[in-house]
Amino acid sequence: MNGNRNDPAAELREYMAACMQCGTCSASCPNAEFMDVSPRRLWRLAQLDRMDDVLASRTFWMCSSCYSCMLRCPRGLPTTRAMQALKRLAAQQGAAGARRGQAFCRAFTENVERYGRVQEGALMNTYLRRRANPALALSYVPLGWKLLRRGKLHLLPGSGHKGRLAPLVNKVREMEARS
């Protein structure tokens, strides 16, 4: 979003003012079932200036930036960028969801930077250690066990891709520091 960088909420309202509530974004979203508020409804809340409700939602944290909604929006609205702007806004405001999201994002970035691919065991180990919440760690046990039994969880890191993504991650860090 290129508009008013000093007021991300105003920026969001400005971009979403033209939303006609057709619902194409919600229907296009592969992650909609994990969202508590549909993308269409989120943009309506933004239009109504109900930013507390917008930021309390976990919808934008579930957005994987696939760009489907943005490509299909009949009004050509930058919906994906608006989702990203909401993540930044929530992070600036120190929302609980932002702390969780940032902890996972950092653990994920460090993980792929180090191993060159996602190493699930190390990722969850780092994330859960940082969250320092034993109840949260325990809540993942059934899922971890299920994945392990199906061979989807790799506890020992492979060495084949080690460090391969580090230059890419460093480049992004450089770009972020400049912006």
Binding site for ligand SF4 (CB under 6 A): 19-25, 28-31, 39-40, 43, 63-69, 73-75, 77, 79-80, 83
- Are 59 and 37 contacting, i.e. CB atoms less than 8 angstroms apart? yes
Q: How far is the CB of 58 from ligand SF4 (least distance, A)?
A: 12
Tell the smallest beta-carbon distance from residue 13 to ligand SF4 (Å).
13
Do the beta carbons of residue 125 and residue 153 sit within 8 Å? no
Pick the closer one to ligand SF4 by CB: 39 or 116. 39
**Smallest separation (angstroms) from ligand SF4 to the CB of 102:** 18
* H or E stretch at 45: helix 39-47
Quick one: 56 or 137, whose CB is closer to ligand SF4?
56
- The answer to whether 103 and 130 are in contact (CB under 8 A) is yes
| Alpha-carbon distances, residue 65 vs 129, 150, 159 (angstroms) | 27, 28, 29
Q: Which is nearer to ligand SF4, 70 or 124 (CB)?
A: 70
As measured in angstroms, the least distance from the Cβ of 47 to ligand SF4 is 9
Of 37, 83, 45, the C-alpha closest to 63 is 83
Q: How far is the CB of 173 from ligand SF4 (least distance, A)?
A: 23
Tokens standing for 151?
Answer: 């061979």
Please identify, using beta-carbon distances, which residue of 41 and 114 lies nearer to ligand SF4: 41
Q: Please say which residue, 30 or 158, places its beta carbon nearer to ligand SF4.
A: 30
Closest to 95 measured CA to CA, from 57, 129, 42: 57
DSSP state of 93: T
